[in-house]
Amino acid sequence: MKQSQPVGLWSRNSRSRWRCFWLPLLAVMLDVVAVFLAAIIVYSLRFSKLLLSVRAPNVIPELREYLLFGLVLGLVYVVIARSYQSYSSRWRVPIEQEVGRILTGTVLSMGVVLAAIFFYREFNYSRAVFLGTLVLMVPLLILARAIFYRLRKAMFQRGLGVQRVAFWGWGQAAQALWEELSRARSQGFELVGALGEAPVPGAASLGSLGDLPQVAAKHRIDLVVLAPPPGEEDRMAEGLKASEGLPLELLYIPGVVQIGSLHTRLAEINGRPLMRLRALPLAGWRSVVKRSFDLLASLILLLCMLPFVAFIALALIISGQRPVILRQRRVGIDGREFDLFRFHTRDSAWLGRFLVRWGLNKLPELLNVLKGEMSLVGPAPASPETAQALFAQIPLYLDRRRLKSGMTGWAQVNDAAEAAQRTEFDIGYIEHWTLGFDIRILLLAVGRLLRGKST
C-alpha cells in the first residue's frame, strides 16, 4: 500500500493555500468543464447528420454560438453554486444534499442564461439543445464532483491541504470524536495529539491548553478541537484566550441541547456536528481578492505620487533630515515583525507638520504594501512593546494580528481614540471584511485627508 506523505513536510501557508484556494479552484474548473461539455454534447447530437435527416431546422446555428453559451452557462452555474457555499465547505456533504445543490444550481443557472438570451435577438437558439443541456448537466456535474472528491482524497494522502489537529477534551463524546479524527486523513485532518490528558489511553500529549501558542508553533497546528463534557464548557475560556492572535481555527463539539438551539450552520466530521468558534479570516478567494486589490491600487498610487515622493525627499534633504526614510519596527500578521517605512518628520518643524497633516509622511508605506507586509486597509501597526503591553490589558487584542496591518483602517476613520475601542473596531472589520468595505474605508480616509484630519 502506498504510504501517505507526512503533513509536516508542508508549511502551514502551503497547506492553507491548497485547502482554501487550489482545491476550491479545482472544483470550480471541473464544474465549468462539466457544464460546457453538456452544452457541446447536446449540440453535437441535435445537429448530427442522423437527426438532421429526420428533422432539419430552418436555420442551423453556428457552433461558436454554443461554445460561448456553454462557457457562460458554466460560469453562471459557478456563481450560483458559490452563493450557497458549494465551494467553501471542506467536509464532504451527504449525497442527497449534493444532488439537491446541483439540481438547484442547474435550474437557476439555465433560467438566468435563458432570460439573458431573450434580450439578445441575434442568438439562434434551439429549445431542444437547451432542454437537453439542462438534463445532461445533472449527471455530468455529479460525475465532476465525484472526480473532485477522488482527486482531493489523493491530495490529502500526499499532505496537500491537510489540517494538523490538536485535541482538548475528555469523556465518551471526546473519545468517539478522537477515534473518528484519527481515521479522518481522507477528509483532510491529521490528528497530531492532545492538549492536556488525551481522551484515550496511550495517546500523545503535546502540552497543556494554556501552552497552545508554543504547541501550535512547534507542531504546526492548524485546527484545535474542543470537546469538554457537559458542565465543563467554562474551561474552554483558557483555550480561547491562548489562541488570540494565532492563525488557528477552533471547533467545539456542543451537546445535544445546544445543537437544537443553534441557528447557525455547523461543521461536520463524519456526520458529527461541530460549532466553529473561530475561523481564519480572508481564507482562499477572499485573500486573493484583497491582495490583488492591494497590489494594483498601491502600484497605481505609487506611480501617480512618484513626483510628489521625489519632491518631498528633496525637501527633506535640503532641510537636513537624514535619513529621508525612517524604518520603524512593527508587529504585523501572525505576530511577524517588519520594518515600517515613513518619511523622516521628527526633527522638522513646518515641513514635518505639513506632511503629517496631509498624510504624506505615510507614502513610503506603499512599499510595505507592495512587499506584502501591509495592506491598504487594516488594523494600525503597533510596535512590539506596545503590542505586548496592550495584550495584557485588552481582551482579544492579539486577534488584530489575524490580518495584515493597514495604512488606514476602520478604527482610524471612526476616530477611535482608546486602545480598547480601536480593538473593537479592528475585530469588527476583520469579521465583516468585503472588498466594498475596503473601498468605503479608503474613500472615508481620502475625505478625512482633504479636511486635514489624520487617518
Q: If you write DSSP's letter for every residue of 270-328 in order, what string do you get?
A: TTEEEEEEE--TT-THHHHHHHHHHHHHHHHHHHHHHHHHHHHHHHHHHTT-SSSEEEE
Predicted confidence pLDDT, tens digits, the chain (455 residues): 344 444 444 455 667 777 778 888 899 999 999 999 999 999 988 887 665 555 556 667 778 888 999 999 999 999 998 887 777 655 566 677 788 889 999 999 999 998 888 776 666 677 888 899 999 999 999 999 999 999 998 888 887 888 899 999 888 888 888 888 888 887 888 899 999 888 888 888 999 888 888 998 899 898 898 888 877 777 888 888 888 878 888 888 765 334 333 334 455 665 566 677 777 777 667 788 898 899 999 999 999 999 989 999 998 888 887 889 999 999 988 778 999 999 988 766 788 888 888 888 999 999 999 999 999 999 999 999 988 888 878 877 888 888 899 999 999 999 888 888 999 999 889 888 888 999 999 999 998 888 877 77
Strands 163-169 vs 223-227: parallel, antiparallel or unpaired: parallel
Overall pTM surpassing 0.75 (yes/no): no
* Integer Cα distance of 306 and 300 in angstroms: 10
Predicted local distance difference test score (pLDDT) of residue 271: 56
Predicted local distance difference test score (pLDDT) of residue 371: 92
Question: What is the separation of C-alpha 89 from the centre of its chain, rounded to a whole number of angstroms?
Answer: 12
Residues 442/359, Cβ–Cβ less than 8 Å: no
Contacts of 278 (CB under 8 A, 6+ apart): 240, 243, 248, 249, 250
Burial class (CB in 10 A: 0-12, 13-18, 19+), 454: middle
Predicted local distance difference test score (pLDDT) of residue 354: 86
* Integer Cα distance of 295 and 287 in angstroms: 12
* Integer Cα distance of 154 and 329 in angstroms: 43
Q: Which secondary-structure segment (H or E) carries 238?
A: helix 237-242
* Integer Cα distance of 361 and 252 in angstroms: 46
* Integer Cα distance of 321 and 344 in angstroms: 7
List of E strands, 71-222: 163-169, 189-195, 205-207
Distances (CA, A) of 218 to 8, 64, 214: 11, 56, 6
* Integer Cα distance of 246 and 222 in angstroms: 9
Residue 127: phi and psi, rounded to 5, are -65, -35
* Integer Cα distance of 172 and 203 in angstroms: 15
Predicted local distance difference test score (pLDDT) of residue 380: 92
User: What angle in degrees, to the nearest 10, is found between the helix axes of 285-318 and 350-357?
Assistant: 160
Please report the domains of the chain, with CATH numbers, ordered by start residue: 15-157 (no CATH), 163-278 (3.40.50.720), 285-450 (no CATH)
Beta bridge partners of 252: 226, 275
Strands 249-252 vs 272-278: parallel, antiparallel or unpaired: antiparallel
Predicted local distance difference test score (pLDDT) of residue 356: 85
